[in-house]
Amino acid sequence: MLKLKTKSEFLKVYNQGEKIFGYFQLIYFKKNNFKKNRLGVVASKKTGNAVCRNKLKRLFREIFRGQDKNLKQGYDIVFIAKKNAGDNFKNLKLSMVEKDSIKIFKRANILI
């Protein structure tokens, strides 16, 4: 899995890409010049404490790993955790967040 690492890479996706809101996350995506998808995950302090933020980031990375073969290739994708995901993180299941992500990917037209 390729990752977005620098601030300039994230800013390029934010400024030039499209965004779609879900219940638990906001996803930005932009076409890149690579043959593979790259992932960025953001969970701010507004989302919750460190335990909460790390759990959300792990969930988002796992969803990306599972869905990467079903996504069109050549995109930069940034998952941003929303506050209500942090509020419900103790009851949050992978399947709940995955359903939300799949809906977003369908609306974005990047799901095969």
pLDDT digits (tens, 9 = 90+) for 50-74: 999 999 999 999 999 999 999 999 9
- How far apart, in whole angstroms, are the C-alpha atoms of residue 32 and residue 27? 16
Which residue ranges make up each domain of the chain? 2-107
- How far apart, in whole angstroms, are the C-alpha atoms of residue 63 and residue 48? 20
Upper half-sphere CA count for residue 47 (Cβ side, 13 Å): 22
Q: What percent of the chain shows pLDDT beyond 70? A: 100
Give the pLDDT confidence score for residue 35 in this predicted structure. 92
| CATH fold of the domain at 2-107 | Ribosomal Protein S5; domain 2 (3.30.230)
Give the pLDDT confidence score for residue 52 in this predicted structure. 95
The answer to whether the CB of 36 falls within 8 A of the CB of 74 is: yes
- How far apart, in whole angstroms, are the C-alpha atoms of residue 62 and residue 30? 20
The phi and psi torsions of 24 (rounded to 5 degrees) equal -100, -20
pTM: 0.93
